[in-house]
Structure 1
């Protein structure tokens, strides 16, 4: 029984790592086009988000959050465009 518990934990950790990796790719691509940002994760609930600076006050805010499933089917190039649009139109 203990062996199975350990295996289940290892299997459960893998999706989180994949989610973090995909979020980091999104973050790096935003950096490349001149959008400073931070990637944020909550591994317990598998929540992922991108934080950017507010143009008014400079505080960081979450421009968009993702579930694990959303992140796995995400087209990163399309999402870059969507995030830029959200950033231009949002006020913190």
Structure 2
């Protein structure tokens, strides 16, 4: 996890945004601070109720799946890049052959 703050974005409906803005204003907070505080409070409550070990286990499983997905994506990218290199080399060889003929 990063040590400093990092942005998080998500989509909500106009009605949900209006509700959040109204409550944030009522609480005397910015929308960003209200959402951040509410999300962190809820997350801490879930950890307290469900056990830190259970939450941590789920997080580790998610990271393992993500690492696998990332390596699969990287392998696919490497294959695509190698095909591009091969096409480029074939094109260069064809031009050289044409020049020789």
TM-score, normalization by structure 2: 0.32
Q: Which has the higher helix share?
A: 2
Q: Greater relative contact order (Cα 8 A, min sep 6): structure 1 or 2?
A: 1
Q: Which has the higher strand share?
A: 1
Which has the larger Rg?
2
